[in-house]
């Protein structure tokens, strides 16, 4: 049920994960600390970071301070981080994760994702995550930016299946094939850049629906993602947006409006994210690079 910021999805290992969380990509340590504190103050129960963002120490500080300021305990917040491309491999993942725990000022992480499927290494990285999961250092393990070829390869070789796949997902980029594959295999979809990195906010259809429902464009998109059953982690550094992005539980988009947003999918390969040049864009039609498992 989509009720409030405490509403969760039950992942395939039984762990409950909040449906609406908070992202911190492209924020410095100092800004991440303040953003995370503000997010906790405004009721977010889930924070998404990554070693690649360079702000795990800032997030850890924000988490520690945000919990104390709001009378919360560590288990009240669902924390996600990711294994950096350069750390992939079995022992290197174990070593890197130990450092990430220290940076994040915690002794466990709720969800750890392989940030990107590095060909030839991601199966070893996964084995390391399985060990950390069995050792109780991580409550759930998942992937990000995995296309169907790589998901199939992982499912063939893993002993613990990923709980979710975090993909670029927003009105203009909907990953229909990958979503269908994940649904069929009980792998939850989570949206990164859920607002299109800001670009989907000015689409005329989104702006029209904002007027119709007397909501902001961001609230329309976040609500659409929630009604599509997708975990979403919008990012902002502004308190006004951090707060307003949570006001999505007092209205419901009609089926026709959900369908109107579904129809905005451009099925494109935006390709602006640097790692795609090296490892392939997971979105859309696979190229020779993406076909490598
Ligand atoms: N796994 C991956 O490879 C991957 C890749 C990218 C992102 N992610 C995760 O996904 C999270 C979200 O994605 P994202 O940061 O790319 O972008 P996003 O959440 O789609 O959009 C963030 C942008 O929208 C603006 N914004 C937020 N709320 C707004 C509102 N109510 N009105 C107007 N503008 C608003 C923000 O501005 P201000 O910040 O200026 O307030 C920022 O410029 C990241 O932070 C990260 O945690 C993961």
Nearest protein Cα to ligand 1, atom 43: 198
For residue 96, what pLDDT is reported?
97
Q: Quote the ligand 1 centre to 194 CA distance (angstroms).
A: 7
Closest CA to 163 of 14, 7, 2, 1: 14
pTM: 0.94
Residue spans per domain, the chain? 17-276
Cβ within 8 Å of residue 116, ≥6 positions away? 85, 144, 145, 275, 279
Task: Indicate the helix (H) or strand (E) that contains 239.
Answer: helix 239-244
Task: Indicate the helix (H) or strand (E) that contains 231.
Answer: strand 231-232
Nearest protein Cα to ligand 1, atom 11: 23
Q: Quote the ligand 1 centre to 136 CA distance (angstroms).
A: 30
Please identify, in words, the CATH class of the domain defined by 17-276. alpha beta
Query: What are phi and psi for residue 191, nearest 5 degrees?
Result: -95, 125
Nearest protein Cα to ligand 1, atom 19: 234
Closest ligand 1 atom to 50 CA: 47
Q: Which residue has the higher pLDDT, 2 or 46?
A: 46
Decide: helix, strand or coil at residue 32.
helix
The torsion region of residue 54 among left (phi > 0), alpha (psi -120 to 50) and beta comes to left
Q: Is the pLDDT of residue 135 over 70?
A: yes
Q: What is the DSSP letter of 6?
A: T
Span 251-257, mean pLDDT? 98
Q: Is the pLDDT of residue 166 over 50?
A: yes
Q: Distances from the Cα of 79 to the Cαs of 137, 202, 265, 288, in angstroms?
A: 12, 30, 30, 35
Q: Distances from the Cα of 250 to the Cαs of 2, 191, 210, 223, in angstroms?
A: 10, 21, 14, 10
Q: Quote the ligand 1 centre to 199 CA distance (angstroms).
A: 10
Q: Is the pLDDT of residue 290 over 90?
A: no
Q: Is the pLDDT of residue 1 over 90?
A: no
**178 and 167 Cβ atoms separated by less than 8 Å:** yes
Ligand 1 binding site (Cβ under 6 Å of any ligand atom) = 23-25, 48, 115, 144-145, 166, 192-198, 201, 216, 218, 233-238, 241, 244-245
Q: Quote the ligand 1 centre to 191 CA distance (angstroms).
A: 10
- Give the residue, out of 82, 235, 242, 283, with the most ligand 1 atoms within 8 A of its beta carbon, to mutate for a pocket test: 235
Strand pairing of 188-192 and 164-168?
parallel
Catalytic residues: 53
**216 and 244 Cβ atoms separated by less than 8 Å:** yes
Return d(Cα 134, Cα 76) in angstroms, integer: 22
């Amino acid at each position: 049920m989509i009720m409030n910021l405490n509403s969760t999805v039950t992942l395939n290992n039984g762990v409950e994960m909040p449906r609406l969380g908070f992202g911190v990509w492209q924020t410095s340590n100092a800004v991440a600390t303040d953003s995370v504190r503000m997010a906790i103050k405004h009721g977010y129960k889930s924070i998404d970071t990554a070693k690649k963002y360079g702000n795990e120490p800032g997030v850890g500080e924000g988490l520690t301070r945000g919990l104390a300021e709001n009378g919360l305990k560590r288990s009240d917040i669902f924390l996600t981080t990711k294994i950096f491309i350069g750390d992939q491999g079995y022992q290197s993942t174990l070593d890197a994760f130990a450092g990430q725990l220290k940076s994040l000022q915690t002794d466990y992480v709720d969800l750890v994702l392989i940030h990107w499927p590095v060909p030839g290494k991601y199966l070893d990285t996964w084995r390391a995550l399985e060990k950390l999961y069995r050792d109780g250092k991580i409550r759930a393990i998942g992937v990000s930016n995995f296309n169907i070829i790589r998901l199939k390869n992982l499912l063939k070789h893993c002993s613990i299946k990923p709980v979710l796949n975090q993909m670029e997902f927003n009105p203009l980029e909907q990953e229909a094939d990958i979503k269908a594959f994940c649904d069929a295999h009980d792998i939850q979809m989570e949206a990164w850049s859920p607002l299109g990195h800001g670009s989907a906010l000015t689409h005329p259809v989104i702006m029209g629906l904002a007027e119709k429902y007397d909501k902001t464009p961001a609230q329309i998109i976040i609500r659409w993602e929630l009604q599509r059953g997708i975990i979403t982690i919008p990012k902002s550094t502004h308190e006004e947006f951090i707060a307003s992005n949570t006001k999505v539980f007092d209205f419901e988009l009609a089926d026709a409006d959900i369908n109107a947003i579904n129809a905005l999918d451009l099925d494109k390969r935006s390709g602006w994210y640097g790692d795609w040049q090296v490892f392939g864009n997971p979105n859309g039609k696979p190229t020779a690079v993406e076909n490598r498992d």
